[in-house]
Amino acid sequence: MNLKERWGVLTEVKTAPVPKLTPELMIKINAVYEKLSSRKGFPTNYCGPAMQELRRLGFQGIRGFFQVGRSGDLDLLLDHSHDWAEDAGGKIIDLTAAQYNREKSLGAVIPSGVLIIDKENPLYERYIILERLPTRPLFPTPKDVFSKWKVVLLGG
């Protein structure tokens, strides 16, 4: 018996499914926002920590870019690196998008707070995905681990 056959549950990383937004999860997301928004300088440069907190709730972490507009004469796209999360239905969950309100080329005001952005929202097109981070691992339970072991009684 090789190591994988014997300890297969420990050698393969299983991941949890990404959840859809629910009222219960929205309460947790709002709690994350309240915690982070009390920090100095929030929301600027807090997209990474916000995304990691949302990953802890099971959401898909995303690294990419947020398009803030175009430069004047050159008509070049202007974007900034940005992190956010998505639910199982592809809705964007962004706690820090309001940091881009300082950009004159944005042409709109992004509201502060928890933003849930679906495909019908015009902001959706501004999010450019570079990398989808792995979802959280599912660690084996004691039952998974110990079911592979045989009990040997020692002594008398």
CA distances from 7 to 12, 13, 106, 115, 137 (A): 9, 12, 53, 43, 17
Query: In the numeric block, which tokens belong to residue 104?
Result: 């004159």
Domains detected in the chain: 14-146 (3.10.670)
The pTM assigned to this predicted structure is 0.75
Per-residue pLDDT of the chain (156 residues; tens, 9 = 90+): 444 454 454 445 567 789 999 999 999 999 999 999 999 999 999 999 999 999 999 999 999 999 887 555 555 556 789 999 999 999 999 999 999 887 776 777 888 999 999 999 988 998 999 999 887 666 555 555 555 555 555 555
- β-pair partners for 93: 85, 116
